Amino acid sequence: MKEKLIDLFEYTFHFNSEMIRVIAENIGKVDEKTINLINHTLNAQQIWNSRILGEKTFEVWQISPFEILEEINRRNFEKSIEIVHNFDPDQKISYQNSRGTYFENTVFEMLFQSINHSTYHRGQINSLLKQNGIDPILTDYIFYKR
């Protein structure tokens, strides 16, 4: 299972990087919602990683300087891989969400949420790119594996 999680995080890292690249190449044509969503996508992975690791989390809708998004993406990837290697996927982690409510989930559930959440928002970003006259990226997992 660890190998599959690593593969999925490599996929996530790759297409987050591609989204950042396309947005950067078209920065004058993208709207504020696109910038908000790419930030939110990266923030969410950082938040899930930090919940598992017991570290300080980003804000859900925090906006970082565009120039550091690729670095955030790289750090997220490294932290996710660290978690895969060092945590039992069935270990339960208690955490507090952004509204202050407490929950408990397994490491696997939290990692999968991070991957799935990124996929969802990349789809939204692709729709916004298309609306702004920018060719969307084929981000399906199968295209990554071909």
* pLDDT tens-digit map of 41-91: 999 999 999 999 999 999 999 999 999 999 999 999 999 999 999 999 999
Q: Model's pTM, two decimal places?
A: 0.95
87 φ/ψ sector (left φ>0, alpha ψ -120 to 50, else beta): beta
- Structure confidence at residue 115 as a pLDDT band (50, 70, 90): very high
Looking at residue 133, what is its pLDDT? 97
Looking at residue 98, what is its pLDDT? 87
Q: Topology of domain 2-145, per CATH?
A: Four Helix Bundle (Hemerythrin (Met), subunit A) (1.20.120)
Task: Compute φ and ψ for 68, nearest 5 degrees.
Answer: -105, 5
Domain edges within the chain: 2-145
Angstrom distance (rounded) from CA 100 to CA 93? 15
